[in-house]
Amino acid sequence: MTVAACAGLVQRGDPARFRAVMAAPVGLRTMLFPLYAFNLEVARAPWVTQEPLIAQMRLQWWRDALDEIAGCGPVRRHEVVTPLAEVLDGEGARALDDAVAARMWDVEGTRPEDAAALLRHLDRTSGTLLWTAARLVGAHDAPAARDAGLAHGIASWLTAMPNLEARGRAPLPPGDREAEVRGLAEAGLAALGRFRDAKVLKAARPVFFVLSDVAAVLTAFRDAPDVQPELSDAGSRWRLVRASITGRV
């Protein structure tokens, strides 16, 4: 029940995020790996079973664990919960509880009624996650961090569309598919622009290394909404190195 176990989970389940965390200072990794391992486990919960009740029970298990962390009392022993409890405070636990609650929509599998509904969902999940990480290292600009999380969430959602559709889900609101994709990409680029215009606390900048590919992904979807972008590994690594040197994504 160590940070190394959390790092292993992230490395296997979310390689891009793993590389971004490894580009951060060592001290920051001990906070980010448990947080991202938690996110990975929660994001998986709606998809590991075809039984909605079982998926809901899995999510409730995580909500109960967060409630224990927020209560500052005994916390269940678990390879992710135990190290998470060492880095997460009560405010963070309560914020992440809302992010877990938002995942109930993934269990239901309903089509987003419009773009605004999908953006709210991505803010509650990806926005909350990145804001929690930034706040834990001293950041105070919640709107900027949530914009960063929203941009990341949109890029991830658009990239995941083929997989979602293969599982029988409708990831986009009703309407013209290309227009919806382009609109979401533009919303993500606008959120990323607002984040870039903000003054991010220097100590928190490594939290946002995870955004190093986001502009490229969103731009590709905006320009060719009917094509899944294929970023080269070399290009992704170069953007991450650049972010780690300059502190900017």
List the domain range (segments joined by +) for residue 38.
Answer: 1-109
Do 53 and 124 fall into the same domain? no
Do 182 and 145 fall into the same domain? yes
Long-range CB contacts (within 8 A, 24+) of 224-230: 225/177, 225/178, 225/179, 225/181, 225/182, 225/185, 226/177, 226/178, 226/181, 228/159, 228/161, 228/162, 229/159
Pick the closest to residue 207 from 155, 132, 157 (CA basis).
Answer: 132
Average pLDDT over residues 165-184: 95
pLDDT digits (tens, 9 = 90+) for 94-111: 999 999 999 999 998 899
55, 88, 109: which is the final residue of a domain?
Answer: 109
Do 152 and 175 fall into the same domain? yes
Do 7 and 83 fall into the same domain? yes
Average pLDDT over residues 128-137: 97
| Residues in Cβ contact with 231 at an 8 Å cutoff, skipping those fewer than 6 apart | 213, 216, 217, 220
In the chain, % of residues over pLDDT 90: 93
Average pLDDT over residues 197-213: 95
Do 158 and 72 fall into the same domain? no
Do 27 and 139 fall into the same domain? no
pLDDT digits (tens, 9 = 90+) for 33-56: 999 999 999 999 988 888 899 999
For the chain, the domain total comes to 2
55, 85, 109: which is the final residue of a domain?
Answer: 109
Residue type, 132: T
Do 1 and 76 fall into the same domain? yes
Residue type, 184: L
**Distance (Å, whole) CA 47 – CA 64:** 20
Among the ranges given (80-84, 151-155, 244-248), the one the predictor scored with the smallest mean pLDDT = 244-248
Which pLDDT does position 73 carry in this prediction? 81
109, 133, 150: which is the final residue of a domain?
Answer: 109
Do 178 and 231 fall into the same domain? yes
